[in-house]
Amino acid sequence: MTKFGFIRHGSTAWNKERRAQGSSDIPLDQDGIDDAKKLAARLSSENWDYIYSSNLLRAKQTAEIVAEKLNVPALILDTRLREVSGGLIEGTTEAERLEKWGADWHSMDLGIEKVDSVLERGLECLKDIQLKHPDSNVLIVSHGSFIRHLLKELTPEVDLTSHLENTSITTLSISNDIWNCEAYNCVKHLDQTVING
């Protein structure tokens, strides 16, 4: 059985401004760094063998903080774990999108990456990780929309109505080609304080 822990990166200034980030390379803000340290402290009491991450800065920074605390052999960056590309909407707020393109902007071709493309690269990446690390526990640091698309595909029975929080962890296991969601959007570590973290 392979276990995956999907982590959404820590918060950024654009998260707080509710700007679409997509493939824009935005760093963590101080809250994002602090929350990643809390997550790392939590995960240090668990058994994780490998860490894979999107190569976008906000995910990479989160993964580096976790990897340092867990002392895993290597942090592996994979471009297939990047956020859904937002095309022309990257850097904009909902109000700005409404002003620029109107209420029907969702139905316009603004260069946003198609779901099929996201699933193709995401599922291929997971399959490769499974083959490379059978019966291992693998953390994947990625992005909200990317993770949600994968969860909808792999565990359609899971209620995904709650928004994935920054530094949340969602754990899935796969055995005999059957996916099981053990925890969704867990942020219990954010209630903790980190001493000398």
Q: What percent of the chain has pLDDT over 70?
A: 97
Mark out the alpha helices in 12-114 (DSSP H runs): 13-17, 30-43, 57-70, 94-101
CA distance 166 to 169: 9
Residues with active-site annotation: 9, 83
State the average pLDDT over residues 133-144: 96
Q: Flag whether pLDDT at 142 surpasses 80.
A: yes
Domain chopping of the chain, boundaries? 2-86+114-191
pLDDT grade for 197, boundaries at 50, 70 and 90: very low
pLDDT digits (tens, 9 = 90+) for 34-54: 999 999 999 999 999 999 999
H/E element, 122: helix 115-132
We find that the CATH architecture of domain 2-86+114-191 is 3-Layer(aba) Sandwich (3.40)
CA distance 57 to 112: 20
What ranges make up the beta strands (E) of the chain?
2-8, 50-53, 75-77, 137-142, 169-175, 178-186
Q: Flag whether pLDDT at 91 surpasses 80.
A: yes
State the average pLDDT for the chain.
Answer: 94
| pTM score of the predicted model | 0.94
More confident residue, 71 or 78: 78
pLDDT grade for 194, boundaries at 50, 70 and 90: low
Q: How confident is the model at residue 15, as a pLDDT?
A: 96
Q: Supply 56's token pair.
A: 């976008």
Nearest CA among 164, 166, 146, 148 for reference residue 156:
148
CA distance 163 to 130: 27
pLDDT digits (tens, 9 = 90+) for 93-104: 999 999 999 999
